[in-house]
Each structure stands twice: as C-alpha cells, then as structure tokens.
Amino acid sequence: MTAHAADAGRTATGTASRNVHGRALAITVISTVRWWGRAWLPLFFFYATRIRGPSPQLAQLSFIHFARWTLIRRLPANGPSAPEQRLRHAQLFFESNFNGGWEEYIDAFSHILTRGMNTLWGSSYGFPKPLPTAPFKAYIRRHEIEASHFYSAYPEATTTMVAAALEVEAKLAALAARADAMEPEAFADAWRRFLTDVQRCL
C-alpha cells in the first residue's frame, strides 16, 4: 500500500488515522509546479510575507493552528549515495495543522480563500480551481501524503479553544492583580463583569 492518503483507510474525520492526534489533523500535500510558478511563487511569497502581511481571509479560517507553503527546488547532496538533485520542476509543499473534518476544511478553504488558492496552486499541474470543490478535493487526495507520525502538544484543544483560553487568561490576570486590594462588593461586581466579558470564551 502506498502512503498516499487516497489509498489509506480514513477515520470519521475524513483522513487517515495517522494524520490525527486528538482533535488535531495534519494535511501534507506536494504538487508539481509549472515552469512559470518557479518564478511567480517566490514573488508572491515575498509580497505575502513582507508587503501585504497575514491574509485577512485566512484569519477567518478559525480552525487552523499553523499552516505553511514552501517551494522545493533542489535536494542537497548527502554523500555518495545521495548526490544533489536539482529538480526539473519546483514542488509546492503545503501543510496544515487544523481541527474539524478534512472535507469541511477543504470546503472552507475553497469558499473563503478562492482567490488565494488560485494564486498559490494555479501554477501546479492538474490544479482544477478550488470551485466546485469535488474536483479540487480529488486533486488534494491525489497529492496528499499520509503522515507516519503526527504530534500535537495540546491535542484536545481546538484553535478556537486556544484563542479563547489566551483571552480568558489575559483578563483573568488583570482581575487577579487587583482582586486583593478591592472591597468585597466591588470585587463581586468586577467578577460579574469579567464573566460577562469572557462568557463567549468559556
């Protein structure tokens, strides 16, 4: 059996069990880039990281912990059995660490990041455009590689839970810093205001 997830048994999350750790899912995709993508993608990476900054559309995808896109153009030499390999085509490597389901993830990516997906994968051979999603999902399945080992430091936490916890902690620390010096009635009021403020995070 090959490592490609399309051939592997999938869990209820829509991906292979080794791509799952707790609520966290891994996706690993490598696609072959046409000649013009070799020049275009580094320019886009430069623009996206140094000029534009984080994509506001990507920020809407509240289920992604970390994601990356990388261009592989050469493989360095590692002794006589593995000389340097300069690739004829650059390879676009994409990985994401997210929560939820595989299908929902690709759906959300396709609908919210439609333009960004065209920009990033438009130079890859066989890329069918993000919409409609069925051909795009088939494309990702063809190029996805199952992890042999995937690790999350906080496997039971979703991205939303982490963001909520960080917000609660910051506000809790602010209340805790002044709690001792307050009158009991004033503290009870402050505690109620704190709960109202953070209730969507609890």
Window 118-137: residues binding another protein (CB under 8 A): 125-126
Does position 182 interact with another protein (CB under 8 A)? The reply is: yes
Structure tokens at 150: 């995937």
Phi, psi dihedral angles at 181 (to 5 degrees)? -90, 0
The only residue of 12, 173, 196, 200 in contact with another protein, by rule CB under 8 A: 173
Asked if residues 88 and 107 have their Cβ atoms less than 8 Å apart, the reply is no
**Binding residues for another protein restricted to 19-58, rule: CB under 8 A:** 21, 24, 26, 28, 30-32, 41-42, 45, 48-50, 54-55, 58
The only residue of 64, 108, 117, 140 in contact with another protein, by rule CB under 8 A: 64
> Any idea what DSSP says for residue 183?
-
Does position 97 interact with another protein (CB under 8 A)? The reply is: yes
SS3 of 64, please? strand
Does position 112 interact with another protein (CB under 8 A)? The reply is: no
Does position 143 interact with another protein (CB under 8 A)? The reply is: yes
Burial of 39 (0-12, 13-18, 19+ CB in 10 A): exposed
SS3 of 112, please? helix
Greatest alpha-carbon span in the chain:
76
The only residue of 39, 166, 193, 197 in contact with another protein, by rule CB under 8 A: 166
* Cα–Cα dist 113/65, whole Å: 16
Q: Choose among 108, 124, 18: nearest CA to 64.
A: 108
- Nearest distance in Å: CB 131, another protein: 19
Asked if residues 74 and 87 have their Cβ atoms less than 8 Å apart, the reply is yes
Task: With contacts defined by CB under 8 A, name the span among 7-15, 71-79, 102-110, 129-137 that binds another protein.
Answer: 71-79
The only residue of 9, 12, 148, 200 in contact with another protein, by rule CB under 8 A: 148
The only residue of 36, 39, 87, 174 in contact with another protein, by rule CB under 8 A: 87
Does position 149 interact with another protein (CB under 8 A)? The reply is: yes
**Nearer of residues 77 and 134 to another protein, judged by Cβ:** 77
